Structures are given as C-alpha cells and as structure tokens.
Amino acid sequence: MFITFHGKLEDSIQAFYENLAEKDGNIARTHIYLDLAKENNKHKNRILRAYREIITDALEGGFPIFDLNEKDYELKTDNKKDMNLNDTLKKAINLEEISLRFCEDASKSINGLIIEVSQEFAWLKNRKQKRIQKLQNY
C-alpha cells in the first residue's frame, strides 16, 4: 500500500540523517541533521493521520494506485566513512528529490479519489522542495 511505502521512505531518510548526526563532529550540522530527521517522522505521521481520518471500509483492503511502482523510488541511504561534506549534501539532496517525486506522484495518482490525502502529499512536496533548497544553500 502506498501509505506504508511512504512511511518506509520517511523512515529511511530519517535514519540517514540520524546516522549523519551521529558521525559528524560539527555541532551545527548535527543539529541540522537531527531537525531534518524529526521532520521526516512528522511527515510520515501527517500523511498517516490524513489517511486514517478519511479511510472507509471500502478502501481498507488496499487502495489501488496504478501509476506507482516502489522500485521507482528506491533509496540508497548507506553512509561511507570517507564521505566529505559535499558528497554528504549531494546524497541528502538526492534522497529528498526521490521523496519529493514520490509525494508528487502520489498526490497526482489519488487526486480526486482521496482529496485530503492528495492535498497532504501536495503540501509535503512543497516542504520537500524547501528542504532541498536548504541543503543546496548550505
């Protein structure tokens, strides 16, 4: 189900940032990574809450999303010890872009079917764009 898959995406990115925070000796960057990780958890819960608020018995068996293939959104969250700051930022931006693309595609796929969840994915897409800009400006 696409909601479960979205949760896995957010969990993977959250773990990536928590791992960076653990390895990075720079206090300022550590705080940034931990803030991003906390946001991932909030994002997951926001979508889940919107979904739970509108789900009906008819949809509970699995909501058909035909245009989404989990393989199109695979994340590579491994952190190599020798990654410099530039490599780390590129990897983080790539993860955010994949997550943004999923949110955009999910929003389009369910638009008109589950409007509230579609709107939440659209909001989250905009939030992901801001996170990418933040990382690009770092």
The Cα–Cα gap between 106 and 83 comes to 32
Q: What is the mean pLDDT of each run of 10 residues along the chain (138 residues)?
A: 89 95 90 95 92 61 64 86 86 94 88 78 93 91
pLDDT at 77: 85
Domains and CATH numbers, the chain: 2-61+85-136 (1.20.1260)
Burial of 104 (0-12, 13-18, 19+ CB in 10 A): middle
Which pLDDT score is estimated for 80?
74
Give the integer Cα–Cα distance in Å for 83 and 64.
40
